[in-house]
Structure 1
Amino acid sequence: MVEVRAQRASKPEGWQPQLVALDIDGTLLKWVVGQGTTHEVVPDRVRDAVQRVLAAGCHVVLASGRAPHGMTAIADQLGLRDPLDPDGRLWIVASNGSVIVRHPPMEIVHEETFDAAPAVHAVLERHPDALVAIEERGVGYRVSAPFPEGELGGELIVTHLDDLVSAPVSRVIIRDPQATADDFVAMAAQLGLHGTDYVVGWTAWLDLAPVGVSKASGLAYVAERLGIGPDDVLAIGDGRNDIEMITWAGRGVAMGQAVPEVQDAADAVAAPVDEDGAATELDLWFG
């Protein structure tokens, strides 16, 4: 049984978010049991709740570890259009904050890059059979070898490792199907990965990013341009890569199936994704 702390955060009477930041996998989309992927269909109850947020004149920003091309289809499923933009164009925080997008049409307006080679080689010394992926914008990913089916969207282009990290990149994914998430948490802590920020996913999945870049930094970039402060932001997520945005937002909410470190960082814990917890949280403020 999940303890739902839906009212832990203290907010002034009548408070309503001006910006709602939503993770995708495990927050809007339900996990496929045992596969590390999500169903690519937004539940009706969640879509309806998001539409009520838009009808109230609130900005909705998707914030995900996904590449931009894996996010715009979800935005379209939700019927997202910014109610305060004359053209209805959205802001999207992609690649764990490394890439900021406007949509539609998809336009990359900001990107952070870094030299990933030292960190990648350090990880591969510990996990020599691990898989490496770099986003190939608008197409899919360049990969050192094929990833498990369904884990990466778009076309997968097999590329020699040296070519993958020969130039600055915005994000690197390292995946070892033979290891566990706990293995990667321990490894990353031991390595230090100087000059690089990292986050471990639900499985042995490691995201590498430029130092200081996260969903929180991406949302801060967007919020500044919208004239909104963090106190007026509601953020909902379920993964370790959501911790920074959950703590940055005026109200940060963890999904009920999130690991303890994510729940501990949150102001509130919603019901699990299988119970449409994001919709329940949104209905507190936009019901």
Structure 2
Amino acid sequence: MPYAGVRSVVGLTTSLALHAVVFMLASTHLGALKDRPDLPPRERTITLLVLQPPEPEKSAPEPDHTTVVADAPAFPPAPIPVPEVGSPVGPAAPSEPASMAAPPAPTAEEWAFASTYKLKNSKGYRYAWGQQVRSMMGTVVEGPDQGMVRFRVEIAPDGSLARLDTLWSTSAAAERLARQAVGSMPRWPPTPTGRPLIFEKTISFSPFASDGPPLYKDDCLPDPPVFTNPFAWDGKSARVQVQADPPEKPDPQTLEDCLKQLPRDSIEAESARDQRLMDQWGWGSSKLGR
């Protein structure tokens, strides 16, 4: 075949070329290895760490015990004189207990008015009776004997005492003195209404009492209705809300006639009323320091 020889030639040529390339590469690599200088042998480095113990702390220097020769003793400085200053506040003197003398007894004119004044359950008669009792009890001194006593009094139409009951008392001495005064009082004028007069009266035997004449300017007005709780319930009966009764309106003519017989209120009565209200609400000066 004509191509058989050609194939042989081509294969031989290719083989020779490959061998030539391999030979050139091998010679180049070997030449490079021979031209490289020999490296010195690698030395080993050993590091040694030495740990030293800590240095001991330096002790404080010992004090010098050398004897010090003292100088001659010097005289101490003269003390500075301090002036004596008296205390600005002297010793508190013992306070004297409060006292109040007995009020004067009602005059004949006051008893004459009281025996004719009928309004408000004979208000003038009741006040004059209490003032007469207190005037006979003497001076009161602050202490264990002070106090109050409340009586229920019944006076016969002729002015004689029919009954005297003690409702309560805060001082046995006050009750004893009040009963002694009632027992030694002269016969009083007849009652204004001509009927037995029954009332309750508190006698104050105290240096801080604010008893005074009553006010009469509102005696012609009807008494306010008695308060009743509209929500009170006994738990058994049916619930019924109780309405308070409206205050009664006085007849104009009757009110005018009543106002004509009212006495003129005194300044003492106004002051006593104000003092009683202040004491009631804790604003009175008599409450201070007690």
* TM class, shorter-length: under 0.3
Give TM-score scaled by structure 1 length.
Answer: 0.23
Larger Rg: 2
